């Protein structure tokens, strides 16, 4: 049980407790806070409160967060597009719509379930039982290349490269609008959204450095085809950065506008390069975007002519 002891600040007086708690750097969404309040894990001056509570300035707030329930990962025979594999790691081309690891609402049919079957449970354990082998992630509705570690030594070596920003990572995306410049760099720190804890945003508060480079490969009438390189790998980085400069990814229903038929953002992790953590050999792999992406580009090209 994690226990947070807080004092309700004067500047927040009049604000609902759940909204205020979700704005803190506690890793809790507003919905999660409401659940804790209902379970009487949130106390104000030592007493349980209703979900619509608006504490007075100076009130003593206690938030108790129970440990997460352990989830058993069930190996599942799900087809995988394996780009490369050896005794220490593999590179997989994740399809759009597949969640990387189990979490609330997605306990099976994830990439981890498929990997557990394919690797017969032989994956690194550094990230715990929920994310075995997972060195880095891409979003559910982003397709493309991921590296998976089969042992802890490989995992540590890959994680060090990520920390040093020495990975080569290139994405392609379809963004909304007309770009003024053919190339650009977005250098803007990213942190958790102050209200919607499931979202990220550009902010100076509790944020981390984030740098994205982009090149406009083709400008269409109302959209553009981009290639992007990451210096850092923050959660939702490309999606947040492009939205921040006024060019959200086409179909992004969180940071832009949903588009029928796209099933989320048109974003693909097309290239990844790294030094093999055991052999020291530099490896680089590339995969084209899926068919829906290619067809969409062709349609936009035809409409532009």
What would the two tokens of residue 198 be? Answer: 């499931």
Rounded to whole angstroms, how far apart are CA atoms 5 and 20? Answer: 14
Measured in degrees and rounded to the nearest 5, phi and psi for residue 22 equal -70, -20
Distance CA 203, CA 198 (A): 15
Q: What is the pLDDT of residue 120?
A: 87
Q: Which two tokens stand for residue 137?
A: 């992630």
User: Cα angle at 276 between 273 and 280, to 5 degrees?
Assistant: 120
CA neighbours within 13 Å on the CB side: how many for 171? Answer: 28
Burial class (CB in 10 A: 0-12, 13-18, 19+), 247: buried
Q: What pLDDT, on a 0 to 100 scale, did the predictor assign at position 130? A: 66
- Its CATH architecture, for the domain 165-289+296-305, is 2-Layer Sandwich (3.30)
- The yes-or-no verdict on residue 129 having pLDDT over 70 is no
**Segment 35-51 mean pLDDT:** 93
pLDDT of residue 105: 67
Q: Which segments of the chain belong to CATH 3.10.290.10?
A: 2-65
- What value does the mean pLDDT take over residues 259-278? 93
Partners of 82 in beta bridges:
92
- pLDDT score of 87 more than 90: yes
Query: Partners of 275 in the beta sheet?
Result: 282
Among all residues, which ones are annotated catalytic? 139
Is the domain 71-164 a CATH 3.30.499.10 member? no
Looking at the structure, give the CATH architecture of the domain made up of residues 2-65: Roll (3.10)
**Cα 217 to Cα 127: distance, rounded to the nearest angstrom:** 37
Is pLDDT of 305 > 60?
no
Residue with tokens 């981009």: 226
Domain ranges in the chain with CATH number 3.30.2350.10: 71-164, 165-289+296-305
- Whether residue 142 contacts residue 269, with contact meaning beta carbons closer than 8 Å, is answered with yes
What pLDDT, on a 0 to 100 scale, did the predictor assign at position 71?
61
Q: Per-residue pLDDT averaged across 53-64, rounded? A: 96
* pLDDT tens profile 1-33: 789 999 999 999 999 999 999 888 887 878 789
Are 262 and 173 a contacting pair, CB within 8 Å?
Answer: no
Query: What's the pLDDT tens digit per position in 271-301?
Result: 999 999 999 999 999 999 999 999 999 999 9
Q: How confident is the model at residue 102 (pLDDT cuts 50, 70, 90)?
A: confident
């Amino acid at each position: 049980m994690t226990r947070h002891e807080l004092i309700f600040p004067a500047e927040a007086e009049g604000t609902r407790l759940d909204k205020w708690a979700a704005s803190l750097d506690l890793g809790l969404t507003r919905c999660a806070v409401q659940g804790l309040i209902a379970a009487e894990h949130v106390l104000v001056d030592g007493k349980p409160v209703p979900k619509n509570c608006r504490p007075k300035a100076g009130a003593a707030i206690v938030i108790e967060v129970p440990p997460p329930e352990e989830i058993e990962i069930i190996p599942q025979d799900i087809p995988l597009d394996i780009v490369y594999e050896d005794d220490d790691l593999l590179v997989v081309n994740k399809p759009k719509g597949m969640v990387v690891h189990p979490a609330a609402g997605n306990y099976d049919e994830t990439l981890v379930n498929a990997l557990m079957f394919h690797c017969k449970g032989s994956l690194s354990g550094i990230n715990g039982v929920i994310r075995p082998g997972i060195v880095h992630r891409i979003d559910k509705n982003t397709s493309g290349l991921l590296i998976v570690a089969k042992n802890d030594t490989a995992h540590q070596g890959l994680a060090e490269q990520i920390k040093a920003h020495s990975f080569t990572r290139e994405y392609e995306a379809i963004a909304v609008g007309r770009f003024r410049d053919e190339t650009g760099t977005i250098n803007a720190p990213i942190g958790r959204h102050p209200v919607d804890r499931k979202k990220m945003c550009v902010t100076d508060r509790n944020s981390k450095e984030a740098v994205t480079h982009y090149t406009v490969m083709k400008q269409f009438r109302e959209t553009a085809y981009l290639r992007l390189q990451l210096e850092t790998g923050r959660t939702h980085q490309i999606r947040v950065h492009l939205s921040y400069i006024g060019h959200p990814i086409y179909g992004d229903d969180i940071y832009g506008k949903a588009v029928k038929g796209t099933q989320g953002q048109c974003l693909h992790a097309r290239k990844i390069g790294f030094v093999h953590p055991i052999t020291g050999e530099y490896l680089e792999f590339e995969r084209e975007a899926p068919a829906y992406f290619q067809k969409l580009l062709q349609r936009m090209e035809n409409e532009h002519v």
